[in-house]
């Protein structure tokens, strides 16, 4: 059984669905999504509909992590999350549009969050509420943003797992796992072995969506606006 880990999608349904369709998936393989399904891109609703359908079919194991954009969205709707006051300033307008919700005329109010919540299909509400904070698999730790490199695992703060950035990226950490993370867009997949691999390659900014199959050390990538998937053997990264 193989495990495929996919970086930030941000409402880009066409590229994500094309990438998933191209993967040589077999029954009981695992698909891990690192979060940030919504905001900025054109079809947040379509992305979540695709993922909930993928999970419902049950052919593959699916793991959906919470990103900071889902966290802001939940807070905006009055649910468990953080920084809902800046949700619209960080791409949330595109999410409102995808759900057919009119943008606020002025500063957002709690009523605006309730209008968005009311527009969500029930299975989408369940999807957002049940997102996982992390996932361990075969010597890897999958999280959205990273971990605090100064803390042991049992001392990690949940909010940091979806919000931390430079402190994690610039420093080694003490965990006996390679951390697979998204959150911070880069031009290429960021390899800092054995500590971390960054898989957010800025799809929504015109770059690419990246997926790492961890068993065979194979990288799958699709460029923004494309349907063609490039496959690269990256096993040499571990050898070097």
Classify strands 190-192 and 196-198 as parallel, antiparallel or unpaired: antiparallel
Q: CB neighbours (10 Å) of residue 136?
A: 11
Between residues 1 and 6, the one the model is more confident about: 6
pLDDT digits (tens, 9 = 90+) for 79-110: 989 999 999 999 999 999 999 999 998 788 89
Counting Cα atoms < 13 Å in the Cβ hemisphere of 181 gives: 31
Pick the closest to residue 207 from 196, 223, 218, 192 (CA basis).
223
**Residue 174: per-residue pLDDT:** 93
Q: Which CATH architecture has domain 3-239?
A: 4-Layer Sandwich (3.60)
- Choose among 1, 10, 3, 2: nearest CA to 182: 10
Q: Token pair for residue 74?
A: 């939940």
Is residue 15 within 8 A of residue 226, CB to CB? The reply is yes
The pLDDT mean for the chain works out to: 96
Asked if 138 contacts 180 with a C-beta cutoff of 8 angstroms, the reply is no
Question: What φ, ψ does residue 146 adopt, rounded to 5°?
Answer: 140, -165
pLDDT tens sequence across 28-39: 999 999 999 999
- pLDDT at position 239 is 85
Quick one: pLDDT band at residue 179, thresholds 50, 70, 90? very high
Give the C-alpha separation, 150 to 171, whole Å.
9
pLDDT of res. 108: 86
Mean pLDDT check: name the lowest of 18-22, 93-97, 108-112, 222-226: 108-112
pLDDT-above-70 percentage for the chain: 100
pLDDT, position 106: 79
């Amino acid at each position: 059984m193989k495990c495929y880990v996919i970086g930030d999608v941000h409402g880009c349904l066409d590229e994500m669905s094309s990438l998933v369709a191209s993967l040589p998936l077999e029954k009981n393989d695992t698909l891990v999504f690192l979060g940030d399904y919504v905001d900025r891109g054109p079809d947040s609703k379509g992305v979540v509909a695709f993922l909930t359908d993928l999970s419902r079919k049950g052919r593959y194991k699916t793991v959906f992590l919470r990103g900071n954009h889902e966290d802001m969205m939940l807070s905006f709707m009055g649910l468990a999350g953080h920084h809902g006051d800046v949700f619209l300033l960080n791409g949330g307008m595109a999410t409102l549009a995808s759900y057919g919700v009119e943008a606020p005329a002025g500063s957002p109010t709690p009523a605006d969050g309730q209008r968005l919540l009311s527009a969500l299909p029930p299975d989408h509400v369940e999807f957002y509420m049940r997102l996982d904070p992390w996932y361990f698999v075969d010597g890897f730790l999958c999280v959205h943003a990273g971990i605090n490199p100064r803390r042991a695992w049992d001392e990690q703060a949940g909010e940091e797992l979806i919000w931390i950035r430079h402190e994690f990226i610039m420093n080694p950490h003490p965990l006996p796992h390679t951390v697979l993370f998204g959150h911070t867009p880069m031009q290429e997949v960021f390899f800092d072995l054995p500590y971390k691999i960054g898989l957010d390659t800025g799809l929504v900014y015109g770059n690419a969506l990246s997926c790492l199959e961890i068993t065979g050390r194979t990288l799958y990538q699709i460029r923004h606006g494309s349907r063609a998937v490039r496959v690269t053997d990256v096993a040499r990264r571990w050898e070097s």
